[in-house]
Amino acid sequence: MKNICLNIEKALGTVSKEQVFAREAESNACMATLHNGTGAGNDFLGWLHLPSSITDAELADIEQTAETLRSKCEVVVAIGIGGSYLGARAVIEAMSHSFDWLTTDRKNPVMFYAGHNIGEDYLYELCEILKGKQFGIINISKSGTTTEPAIAFRILKKQLEEAVGKEEAKHRIVAITDARKGALRTLATQEGYKTFVIPDNVGGRFSVLTPVGLLPIAVAGVNIRELVAGAVSMEKATDESVPFAENPAAIYAATRNELYKAGKKIEILCNFNPKLHYIAEWWKQLYGESEGKEGKGIFPAAVDLTTDLHSMGQWIQEGERTIFETVISVEAMEHSMIVPTDAENLDGLNFLAGKHVDEVNKMAELGTQLAHVDGGVPNLKISLPAITPYYIGQLFYFFEKACGISGYMLGVNPFNQPGVEAYKKNMFALLNKPGYEKESEAIKSRL
Ligand code: PA5
């Protein structure tokens, strides 16, 4: 089996190979800090050996629960936000038919998502579409107290209980939360829901390979064993014992930090395959929450190409030179589609006739890379042999490992997210939450 592969050659106009390799000792030290558990946030290192420690029994339990939901439901709503949402959606969108909801020979339930926004119209329309449908709910919240998913769950639980009765609803609701704490744990115990535990030492954005990601992914019909196997192989390929020069996570971490030092403050994750859109959303959370703190951190942005070459392309080519790109390049497509010949050739595209659509896409990718490099945008490339659960598993672990090293290189705790509390405090104060009386008074005086 091949591995995903990192190429930094096209970033070496801005930083030199020597500069990147001069970070070897630092990278090794950060790697050792991770593996010895001696750094900041060391109580959140459960992800580090997670792939290789998942047991067959755990996977079988997840698969069996998925099968129950699959047999009962035509739609399953995964409720969650941030790390309790993005990983599952990333895999499901990457592995599903692009027009999934309209396929007629369905083998898998339709997956919907809720609790990742507070959109009244979104929730109304979701409830409308679920009327008369056999649906189930996976409610995911590590803290068990996050407002967005809690609101969505209240609404959908009520609708489900009214539709199928309280007893049957219990068999269609699965809760994934902390082992002991939080409102969701209390509720699940009280109602008798099937539950899965999010380990204490795995933070939300590192939790895709726990039941948080694995259960919805399995419900959607994706092979979670392949996903985990891919992650296991990358756990080995990025291990502490692998020398810096051969360790893709270390090289990625070193290169992006060197680029940051050279003034490249924004990293744009680019894909040339629309199925990878939510992989980028997952990546944005991973790096944004891990590194953006103490007035530091590369801003993680993302574009879908060639789509966004017709919107963001101008900025990338000629805007402020503070960006670099990391392109996820997929080598082989699953399907074959040839550009047809046309007798009239009014669009002048007969020179493409007989070529695979992906051949055109690959030339767009290469042309874009060279244009952006010429425009002063350093380019890193991660090649994926194909979009499969195995390679996505590799990609997840690669990014997680690199993120841990990179955060320590930057000098921050990559495993906390103190900044996400500020909006919550204000929101609760504005909504007059009991216990927030002082904050309410203070914030209202500012309005
Ligand atoms: O990475 C994180 O910790 C956060 O983004 C959380 O995943 C997100 O806030 C959801 O939290 P919870 O699972 O507690 O509802």
For ligand 1, the distance from its centroid to the CA atom of residue 339, given in whole angstroms, is: 44
For ligand 1, the distance from its centroid to the CA atom of residue 412, given in whole angstroms, is: 19
Query: Is the Cβ atom of 379 under 6 angstroms away from ligand 1?
Result: no
At which of 225, 254, 287 does a domain end?
Answer: 225
Domain of residue 336, CATH code:
3.40.50.10490
Q: Are residues 144 and 286 in the same domain?
A: no
Q: Are residues 93 and 153 in the same domain?
A: yes
Q: Are residues 186 and 253 in the same domain?
A: no
Confidence class for position 272, pLDDT limits 50, 70, 90: very high
Contact between residue 134 and residue 73 where contact means Cβ atoms under 8 Å apart: yes
- Render pLDDT for 232-244 as a digit per residue (tens, 0 to 9): 999 999 999 999 9
Q: Are residues 191 and 292 in the same domain?
A: no
Query: Is the Cβ atom of 203 under 6 angstroms away from ligand 1?
Result: yes
Q: Ligand 1: which of 79, 146, 176, 210 to mutate, judged by most atoms within 8 Å of the beta carbon?
A: 146
For ligand 1, the distance from its centroid to the CA atom of residue 41, given in whole angstroms, is: 16
- The answer to whether the peptide bond before residue 33 is cis (omega within 30 degrees of 0) is no
Q: Which amino acid is at 343?
A: A
pLDDT of residue 106: 85
Per DSSP, 229 falls in state H
Query: Is the Cβ atom of 404 under 6 angstroms away from ligand 1?
Result: no
Judge whether 445 lies within some domain: no
- Render pLDDT for 346-394 as a digit per residue (tens, 0 to 9): 999 999 999 999 999 999 999 999 999 999 999 999 999 999 999 999 9
Judge whether 336 lies within some domain: yes
For ligand 1, the distance from its centroid to the CA atom of residue 43, given in whole angstroms, is: 16
Q: Are residues 349 and 368 in the same domain?
A: yes
Judge whether 111 lies within some domain: yes
Q: Ligand 1: which of 143, 198, 400, 424 to mutate, judged by most atoms within 8 Å of the beta carbon?
A: 143
Q: Are residues 107 and 92 in the same domain?
A: yes
Judge whether 250 lies within some domain: yes
Q: Are residues 326 and 404 in the same domain?
A: yes
Q: Are residues 195 and 271 in the same domain?
A: no
Q: Are residues 209 and 239 in the same domain?
A: no
- Render pLDDT for 197-219 as a digit per residue (tens, 0 to 9): 999 999 999 999 999 999 999 99
State the CB neighbour count (10 A cutoff) for residue 440: 17
Residues with a catalytic annotation lie at 289, 310, 424
Judge whether 23 lies within some domain: yes
Query: Is the Cβ atom of 289 under 6 angstroms away from ligand 1?
Result: yes
Question: In the chain, how many domains are there?
Answer: 2
At which of 178, 196, 225 does a domain end?
Answer: 225
Query: Is the Cβ atom of 255 under 6 angstroms away from ligand 1?
Result: no
pLDDT of residue 314: 97
Q: Are residues 351 and 387 in the same domain?
A: yes
Q: Are residues 103 and 17 in the same domain?
A: no
Judge whether 80 lies within some domain: yes
Please state, in angstroms and rounded to a whole number, the distance separating the CA atoms of residues 56 and 270.
35
Query: Is the Cβ atom of 84 under 6 angstroms away from ligand 1?
Result: yes
Judge whether 363 lies within some domain: yes
- Domain holding 203, by residue range, is 50-225
Judge whether 166 lies within some domain: yes
Torsion of CA 114, 119, 124, 127, to 10 degrees: 0
For ligand 1, the distance from its centroid to the CA atom of residue 96, given in whole angstroms, is: 25
Q: Are residues 327 and 397 in the same domain?
A: yes
Of the candidates 231, 201, 196, the one whose C-alpha atom is nearest the C-alpha of residue 87 is 231
Confidence class for position 103, pLDDT limits 50, 70, 90: confident
